[in-house]
């Protein structure tokens, strides 16, 4: 039962923005350019770990999360081309997935819908029912087989598989689960023609110290085996750790850890968003730090897809 936020037409956007007062919140002179940009179907934008509270003045770790998401959206709107899609990868809500959190998140992300469709995934600070209830007019109902925020969509050079790793709200570890892993395996088998990119909120974690030490996926080993045995899977993109980082698993699957739009856990790490541009043999992932003086701002990770 995933929710997908389709791109809004100029007319629909201006109507909705006017009702919400959004047109006054963002520079009006930018609006004329949003709808006339060229579409780059090989580019995807990623936001993650927004942690939006119903109260827009909420501050955590010395960061106002609503201000950070507003700055992220503003910069995204100023980008010279439209991406194929935006993916917001989990922890949309501040802490407990409250209904006002999603109402505020929806208002802050609304302007981005003038440029591209938006796909949403859930993290451990989200609540599925509150989330689903918050977007009734934007819900695109698919199979309810999983009762998860999981979906599949396609762009020019890749098939995208969004999985839902939310286990318990405000409980750190996540889990894909047997039913969802079986679903993902079937979906992958039906789409062997393009590189497959899997996106989920929680990180892979392999520990020898028992379940009490797990902060990532509890079923990391099983999930990683699934990704490795499908040769079309080229990358797993995740958030959760609030740390921009890219590495490659022994299988050749690239592991891309998105930065948060909100606060970082470790002082000095960047917050912001990521822009990925795909080519025939891989993709370039570029960090767009909110702090333009950060040493990693504009850093590009050039990835080549495994061949088997």
- What is the pTM (predicted TM-score) of this model? 0.93
- The answer to whether 65 and 51 have CB atoms below 8 angstroms apart is yes
**Residue 152: what pLDDT?**
94
CA distance 80 to 85: 15
* Angle (CA) 56 61 62, round 5°: 70
* Token reading at 280: 């025939």
Q: Are strands 254-257 and 233-238 parallel, antiparallel or unpaired?
A: parallel
Per-residue DSSP letter, 26:
S
Task: Report DSSP letters for 161-189, one per residue.
Answer: EE-----STT-S-B---HHHHHHHHHHHH
CA distance 257 to 154: 21
**Residue 29: what pLDDT?**
54
CA distance 94 to 101: 7
Cα–Cα distances in angstroms (integers) from residue 285 to residues 242, 257, 274, in the given order: 17, 11, 7
How would CATH label the architecture of 4-304? Answer: 4-Layer Sandwich (3.60)
Run means of pLDDT, 10 residues per run, the chain, 308 residues: 78 69 51 75 97 98 97 94 95 98 95 93 96 78 69 95 97 96 97 97 75 83 97 98 96 98 97 97 98 97 94
Closest CA to 157 of 281, 47, 36, 49: 281
Domain ranges of the chain: 4-304
Q: What does the pLDDT look like over 237-251, one tens digit per residue? A: 999 999 999 999 999
CA distance 169 to 99: 13
CA distance 163 to 176: 7
**Residue 75: what pLDDT?**
95
């Amino acid at each position: 039962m995933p929710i997908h936020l389709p791109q809004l037409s100029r007319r629909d956007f201006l109507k909705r923005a006017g009702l919400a007062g959004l047109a006054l919140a963002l520079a009006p002179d930018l609006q004329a350019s949003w709808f006339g940009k060229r579409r780059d179907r090989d580019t995807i934008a990623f936001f993650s770990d927004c942690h939006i509270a119903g109260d827009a003045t909420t501050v955590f770790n010395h960061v106002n999360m609503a201000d950070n998401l507003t700055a992220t959206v503003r910069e995204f709107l100023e980008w010279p081309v439209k991406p194929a899609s935006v993916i917001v990868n989990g922890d949309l809500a501040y802490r407990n997935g409250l209904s006002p959190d999603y109402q505020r998140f929806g208002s802050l992300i609304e302007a981005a819908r003038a440029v591209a469709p938006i796909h949403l995934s859930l993290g451990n600070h989200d609540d599925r029912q509150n989330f689903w209830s918050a977007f009734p007019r934007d819900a695109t109902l698919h199979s309810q087989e999983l009762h998860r925020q999981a979906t599949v969509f396609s762009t020019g050079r890749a098939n995208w598989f969004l999985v839902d790793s939310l286990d318990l709200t405000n409980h750190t570890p996540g889990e894909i689960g047997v039913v969802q892993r079986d679903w993902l395996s079937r979906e992958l088998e039906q789409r062997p023609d393009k590189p497959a990119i899997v996106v989920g909120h929680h990180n892979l974690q392999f520990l020898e110290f028992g379940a009490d030490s797990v902060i990532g996926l509890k079923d990391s080993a099983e999930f990683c085996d699934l990704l490795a045995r499908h040769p079309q899977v080229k990358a797993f993109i995740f958030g959760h750790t609030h740390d921009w980082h890219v590495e490659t698993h022994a299988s050749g699957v690239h592991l891309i850890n998105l930065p948060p739009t909100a606060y970082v856990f470790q002082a000095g790490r960047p917050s912001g968003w990521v822009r990925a541009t795909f080519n025939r043999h891989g993709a370039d992932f570029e960090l767009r730090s909110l702090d333009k003086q950060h040493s990693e701002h504009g850093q590009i990770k050039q990835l080549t897809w495994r061949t088997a």
